[in-house]
Structure 1
Amino acid sequence: MHMRTIDSLAEADLVALDGQAVRASVELAARVRPADLSRPTPCLGWTVYGLLAHMTTQHYGFAAASRGEDDLALWRLRPLGDDPVGSYRTSAGHVMEAFAVGGVLERVFPLPEFGSGVAFPGRQAISFHFIDYVVHSWDLAKALGAEVTFPPDLLDAALAVARAVPDGRARREPGAAFAPALAWSGGSRMDEIVAALGRSPGWPEPAGAVAVLGTASTPSSSA
């Protein structure tokens, strides 16, 4: 199968793939009931509520970045109020509307979470958002005991992004976006993607299971 890379995608294609990932996360969020908010997720230390709050905040942060807004305060964790699912749905619509503006890939996105004055080309910034919501959809599905499926072209693009994320010492630092990559010995394309980004495809591991790498039980805490 030909592997589509992010650089080979037209603007409409990349924005559409990102939108598919976001909509999948919205569909999963719609399944969340009050009792589910305290469930653990593959993101170490985060409950379903914490994951939704992070995802909501990131949507608003990326939307602001697409408009050239460089304010770290816009990336501070947002409370979800009395309707966490509704708050998440609103944030998802907001970022998809922001990314739908023509020429968005040619804009410069300030991403102050990476450091003061740090900015990325729109194509690269949206690829960050895209891979986050492919993986976060998986995170949410796992937490709910559900499944998430994506078409092959989306998984090809997501795997290309996952493989491009630098591995090594930086992934072991506190607050790293992803944990170190895990060995992958077969399974679905989605399994390969999450393993490349430090998630164990078998989460939650059976009691007494031994991880392939020492970080298998330490998924990302921030992305």
Structure 2
Amino acid sequence: MDIRKLDRAAVLETVRILEQADPQDWDLPTPCADWTLRQLVAHMAGQHHGFAAAAAGNGADLSVWRPAALGDDPLTAYRTAADTVLDAFAPPGVLTREFVLPEISDTLGFPASVAIGFHFLDYVVHGWDLARALGVSLDLDDATAEAALVFALRVPDDERRVGPAALFRPALRATPGADVLDLVLTALGRPPDWTADAARRPFTAPRG
């Protein structure tokens, strides 16, 4: 399993989805609680910059993980962030490095393959968030979805999923016959049937 190839596919899919956003769409609700599309994309772009910094050995600086300023052209700002992280992961020697990811642990370093796996899973899920917010499809091949499920099932389902700072919510029960992507979502606490209309009613959706 080439984690960088999988990650690249997930990231480029998020770019493709955002290319379909109209100017008025940036205020749409998303499956991440209390985040509009613009706020979610600012978070995603900031994480791209943070992971790129981690690949270069600078991940301990919390400032590099801040949500990105998107300015008047959020799509271009996001594309730039996506290119930055993909370029950072591309050098052959990157897989021998240790990444510092302070939002996950301020004491442990992570092997590059594990760290890039975290990033990959996050962008499969955030790709779904974007697609649901915009009412478009998320197009990932079976191998990518199946790899995401492997990573999702490794995420501990414990007290760390409770509270406003939780990266994921407690796992949900999957419906019988659910497809692979739905299994990824329910494993991480996201209801696959989320809709923007439901979000406008009183409801607390999983935070990304």
TM-score (norm. length: structure 1): 0.86
For residue 220 of structure 1, what is the aligned residue in structure 2? 206
* 8 Å contact from structure 1 (residues 182, 200) kept in 2: yes
* 8 Å contact from structure 1 (residues 40, 46) kept in 2: yes
Of the three residues 192, 196, 199, the one matched with 2:190 is 199
One-letter code aligned to 1:175: A
For residue 47 of structure 2, what is the aligned residue in structure 1? 58
For residue 131 of structure 2, what is the aligned residue in structure 1? 141
For residue 83 of structure 1, what is the aligned residue in structure 2? 73
CA offset digits 1:137-194 (Å, max 9, x no partner): 0000000011112111111110000000000221012210001110002322111111
Q: For residue 81 of structure 2, give the secondary structure of its aligned residue in structure 1.
A: helix
Shift of 1:48: 0.4
* 8 Å contact from structure 2 (residues 169, 206) kept in 1: yes
Partners in 1 of 2:156 and 2:145 — Cα distance? 19
Q: How does 1:150-161 map to 2 (within 5 A)?
A: 150-161=140-151
Partners in 2 of 1:155 and 1:33 — Cα distance? 27
Shift of 1:33: 1.5
- Number of equivalenced pairs: 202
5+ long unaligned stretches in structure 1? 1-8, 208-216
* 8 Å contact from structure 1 (residues 142, 203) kept in 2: yes
Shift of 1:115: 4.1
Shift of 1:204: 1.9
Structure 1 residues 205 and 31: CA distance shift in structure 2, 3 A: closer
Partners in 2 of 1:66 and 1:219 — Cα distance? 31
For residue 23 of structure 2, what is the aligned residue in structure 1? 34
Structure 1 residues 31 and 108: CA distance shift in structure 2, 3 A: same
For residue 87 of structure 2, what is the aligned residue in structure 1? 97
5+ long unaligned stretches in structure 2? none
The answer on 1:171 being equivalent to 2:161 is: yes
* 8 Å contact from structure 1 (residues 179, 218) kept in 2: no
One-letter code aligned to 1:176: A
Partners in 2 of 1:29 and 1:94 — Cα distance? 17
* 8 Å contact from structure 2 (residues 43, 67) kept in 1: yes
One-letter code aligned to 2:34: G
Runs of 4+ aligned residues of structure 1 deviating over 4 Å after TM superposition are none
State which drifts further: 72-81 or 21-30: 72-81
State which drifts further: 103-112 or 160-169: 103-112
For residue 109 of structure 1, what is the aligned residue in structure 2? 99
Partners in 1 of 2:173 and 2:196 — Cα distance? 15
TM-score (norm. length: structure 2): 0.93
Identity of aligned residues (%): 47
